[in-house]
Amino acid sequence: MPQFSKGIARMTAPRPVCFVVFLLCLGALPAFAADLTVERLFAAPDLSGPTLRGAAFTPDGKRITYLRAKSDAKDVYDLWAYDIGSRRHALLVDSSRLATAGQALSAEEEARRERQRTSSLGGIVEYDLSADGRHILIPLGGDLYLYDLGAPAGRAVRRLTETAAYETDAKFSPRGRYVSFVRDQNLHAIELASGREIALTTGGGGLVSYGMAEFIAQEEMNRNTGYWWSPDEAYIAYARVDESAVAEVERFEIYADRIAVVKQRYPATGARNAEVQLHVAPLGGGAAVQVDLGANPDIYLARVKWFPDSSALAVQRQSRDQKTLTLLKADPASGIARTLLEEHSDTWVDIVDDFVFVSDRGDFLWGSSRSGFQHLYLYAPDGTLRHAVTSGEWMVTAEDRGDSLRAIRGVDRARGLVYFIANLASPIERQLYVTSWRRPGEPRRVSQQAGWHTVRMSPDARYYLDTWSDSEHPPTVTLRNVDGRARDVLVANALDAAHPYAPYLDSHQPAQFGTLEASDGQTLYYQLTLPKGLQPGKRYPVIVEVYGGPSVLGRVRNAWGNLYREYLAQSGYVVFTLDNRGTAFRGMKFDTAAWHHLGSVEVEDQVRGVEFLRTLPFVDPARIGIWGWSYGGYMTLMCMTQAPGHFAAGVAGAPVTDFRLYDTHYTERYMGTPAENPAGYEAASVMTHAEGLAGPLLVMHGMADDNVLFTNSTALFKRLQDLGKPFDVMVYPGAKHGLTRHADTGPHALSMVKRFFDEKLK
């Protein structure tokens, strides 16, 4: 068993990055002293206050549409709009008024929402805007509705479909003549002027689907659609997915009152993927053509985009080993494709979301980490590199997984400017910057407040919607001019006596941020929240909250949001989070540190964090626990088994226990295949290290998890039983991977975590 303590270099003293003083003037408020409860975290109104979900400028730039939670149901959303000219908000569609709102989700839609992390939400969870800015497409309860912003309120909603089947992935065509959607694994469109429905494909069913994103695309590639309109509406490109080659996994979804036998086509690492083809059909009639994606069918269809003049498709093809990403230019009439550019890496190449056309003839911006850090490059339409647009030891990077992984927020073609999000100021912040793509120079920072900015820019790049928070202030939403000056505050969200969080202000524990040094000299960021009522000379238990997985945004952020940490701190715990090497958006050296040997340097870094905690006078070094979900559950197990002297107790939620049980795209990106890297897979398996478990362990898992299959936990149970190791289990009938987000399972799960630590650490 590795003894990490022997290999740890001298621990550097923590360098404070941002110990934010709680700025609210508490003297002006009534005296509050309530502590948070888990039940309150899930209750309405939302403790973080109101915010705007899925905010978007209408194409004409006159309105901002958004989803807003009901006051009495924080996870059920209605459609609203803000008129920029009049500065007024208006409820457009109350989800409860549409008759089919309560219809059960189809299996396809349920899986799609689970992949998009919206399965815990209700009401209107998505919508689309027409090109003329007048109409809004609303999927609800399996049917489609059209809202006319120019019609009187009583006649504004038009129902487009009323079928027993479930319409998914609905969107407007680029010019607004059609609404397209997938039904029963086939692609359909409705011509809005006539109401005529067109079946664009007819061969879908069983193991073959048209216009749908396969499991791997949704879960691991952040591609949630399987079809793409040409800008002139002359063509529609779509994926044909054949899962025949994918191994069928028979698993049991155990519910409270029944057991469902599910036969799932699950592409486990090293095994065969679905075969995905790309076809293009002319809307005016005629046969569809297949796009030539190359001689090797064992590839990933990563992204599809049309050139602005509809003359060609731009297709990102990723090799099976993910070390090569090719941008193809394909003729829609013939399907013939040629290479525009290729990206290569000895580890992996990320799919490029920062791919934006900046001229009608096809000049484009392209994001690449070829320098070791993600930056923007300008290319000619034929794939010729013109020059780098940004550079330096920082990342052009998205705000979050959320609405988009694209860092580019807006383009001003006339002035040759690109607006983008980056972590130049700090890896734990996101700020908006601007630079010229024609004559690149040092980027100019547009946003000013330290913290986390999520930006949506108007189509003409005249102004932007700025959602800002820091660790001590919930999100405010401000409409700003492109120079950063405020035009109007849409959501002030002030922490005053009327705010939902007001009763808990006196109990609030501010976050501290700092840095440590990894064994290779790289910087590790941490966040520390101290227990309520800290008494000098007293030592407290610690809960280390971990995720730690590769290619995922770090958990250490100068942003509002994790009130469960607050709950634990108010319950008497020191709460500590450290972003270990392998966490995303820190540069390729940092990001790829665990390549081909997951569960190694990540554990080393978490141990380094514990060594730091042991130097703090208020920490009890014998009472340090660790907990996490998904990859964080895996990290909990690896820390508990590889470094048992550092962690006194652990809670592992929905953990991968053996990466041979996980899917192709994710696992092979970091580990290769089991045949290529057998020693790496063996070392990365929890079962290999299970004998080292010495402290109390709780394993939690949903019994209908279709992402990290429940088999991961049952395999661990058997291994620990064979070793005679005591452990505790909490399983959730019918629950899937995101059970902690759901109001029916989340409160119990999070309460269980605390109850376990109360028993083992207190």
Q: Which residues are catalytic?
A: 630, 705, 737
709 vs 550: CA distance, rounded Å: 19
Report residue 725 CA to chain centroid gap.
35
- Cis peptide bond upstream of 45, omega within 30: yes
Beta-strand runs (E) in 7-112: 53-57, 63-70, 73-83, 88-93
DSSP 3-state assignment of 491?
A: strand
741 vs 750: CA distance, rounded Å: 10
DSSP state of 288: -
DSSP state of 163: -
141 vs 410: CA distance, rounded Å: 33
Q: Which pairing describes strands 122-123 and 88-93: parallel, antiparallel, or unpaired?
A: unpaired
442 vs 422: CA distance, rounded Å: 13
Both ends of the chain: CA-CA distance in Å?
Answer: 28
User: Which residue from 366, 403, 401, 400 is spatially nearest to 383, judged by alpha carbons?
Assistant: 366
716 vs 633: CA distance, rounded Å: 12
3-state secondary structure 334-366: CCCEEEEEEEECCCCCCCCCCEEECCCCCCEEE
Q: What are phi and psi of 334, to 5 degrees?
A: -110, -25
- Is 525 in contact with 515 (CB distance < 8 Å)? yes
Distances (CA, A) of 442 to 203, 384, 462: 53, 23, 21
Task: Using CA atoms of 633, 636, 639, 641 in order, give the dihedral in degrees to the nearest 10.
Answer: -80
SS3 content of the chain, % helix, strand, coil (to 5): 15, 35, 50
H or E stretch covering 172? strand 168-172
Q: Which pairing describes strands 227-229 and 208-210: parallel, antiparallel, or unpaired?
A: unpaired
